[in-house]
């Protein structure tokens, strides 16, 4: 039984750390842009189709490609990944927020409402993996 506890602790702990790092890396630029970013008008200039998943579970995911002009007058084009799937039609206008020091990497048309669901789902995944680690600790301690 001790082996299962160690495995649960290691697997749960490692997955928790990996998920927290991945979520932080994914959301930090968008949150920074929403809190402190410059606001401008962007337009959907195209739709990028990507395949998500693999095998029989593969499906096409369409993401809007948004073009805007930053505060320095440079035209910036990026693929929006933080908004709801399938949002945006060519020619549709969005409010874009971005960090002027790195508009290409921080630009987002997402709102706090767009991020809320992603925060909740990501948080639930992290809690699930943390619970596995806690069960491992309890097994090792002999409480289970």
Number of domains in the chain: 1
Average pLDDT, the chain: 89
- For residue range 40-56, list pLDDT tens digits in order: 999 999 988 888 778 88
Read out DSSP for the chain?
-HHHHHHHHHHHHHHHHHHHHHHHHHHHHHHHHHHH-EEEEEEEEEEEEEEES-GGG-EEEEEEEEEEE-TTS-EEEEE--SSPTT---TT-EEEEEE-TT-HHHH-B---HHHHHHHHHHHHHHHHHHHHHHHHHHHHHHT--
Domain membership of residue 80 as a residue range: 2-141
- The pLDDT value given to residue 85: 52
Strand partners, 52: 59
- The pLDDT value given to residue 142: 86
- For residue range 94-108, list pLDDT tens digits in order: 899 999 988 988 999
């Amino acid at each position: 039984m001790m082996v299962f506890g160690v495995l649960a602790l290691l697997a749960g702990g490692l997955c928790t750390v990996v998920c927290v790092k991945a979520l932080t890396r994914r959301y930090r630029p968008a949150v920074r842009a929403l809190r402190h970013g410059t606001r401008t008008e962007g337009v959907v200039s195209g739709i990028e189709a990507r395949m998500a998943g693999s095998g029989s579970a593969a499906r096409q995911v369409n993401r809007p490609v948004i073009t805007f002009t930053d505060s320095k007058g440079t035209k910036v084009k990026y693929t929006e990944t933080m908004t709801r799937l399938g949002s945006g039609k060519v020619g549709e206008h969005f409010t874009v927020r971005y960090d002027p020091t790195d508009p290409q990497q921080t630009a987002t048309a997402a709102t706090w409402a767009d991020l809320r669901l992603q925060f909740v789902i990501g948080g639930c995944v992290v809690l699930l993996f943390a619970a596995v680690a806690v069960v491992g600790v309890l097994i090792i301690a002999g409480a289970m």
